[in-house]
Amino acid sequence: MIEGAIAKGLQYVALTDHYDLDMLSFPQVPQIDLPRHFEELAILKEQYRDKIQVGIGIECGWAKDVQDDYARNLAPYEIDMTINSVHLIDGKDCYAEGYYDELSLQKCYDDYLDSVIASLDAPYHYDSIGHLGYIMRKAPYPDPIMQYGIFGDKLDLILRTIIDKGVSLEVNTHTKSLPIRCLPTIEILTRYRELGGELLTFGSDAHQPTRLADKYNETVQRLQSLGYRYIFKYLSHEPIAHKI
């Protein structure tokens, strides 16, 4: 991944592997070797320091019953960036086949947004809210796009809380087959800017080197058109502005 980032001319890359305590009851999901993860990233950060800035990161899959475990387990480590994400809703994986059976779009998306709202009070130190609108990726509805006109109250609560807490909103370009270019939608990003939001991180959610920085240029051009001036990187949990 680091070599791929260098080959693409990137100046910074944060490696935010999944830490999935929310998935402990799912035996098919392997758990990360946390000490090894941070040990190896520290070595690589130093090894590549003259070629690229490497952010030591992690992505926490939020769930209420494990949030204190995240706080305790991550406390000993020096981390540049932590992404806070919701993948489970009431303990159920919304990527799983059958999750949406007998669920209306309204009910499904309301439940997801309620989980995101709850995750904002996580006791661990996080820097960015990951892939807001994740529920859309596998949604089987004829029009799966999360419309601000329907879910505006909950989306506003999320966006205002992000701003109040001084954390960032991730612009994630891994949209699967959705007819949009990023998560959250441009409509939601427009509203975030209207509310005074400025902190944005860019994530291609790559999972493989070929997708690193996917859609970056077109995404930042669109962000510029909405009035955004910066994308932020994180070092030691501190946001550092990169002019776009």
pLDDT of residue 97: 84
**Which residues of the chain, if any, have pLDDT below 50?**
none
Smallest CA-to-CA distance from 34 within 17, 13, 15, 53 is with 17
Could you tell me the CATH number of the domain that includes residue 135?
Answer: 3.20.20.140
Task: Report pLDDT for 193.
Answer: 98
Domain that holds residue 60: 2-243
What is the structure's pLDDT at 223?
98
Give me the number of domains the chain comprises.
Answer: 1
pLDDT the model gives residue 85: 98
| Rounded Cα gap, residues 184 and 218, in angstroms | 15
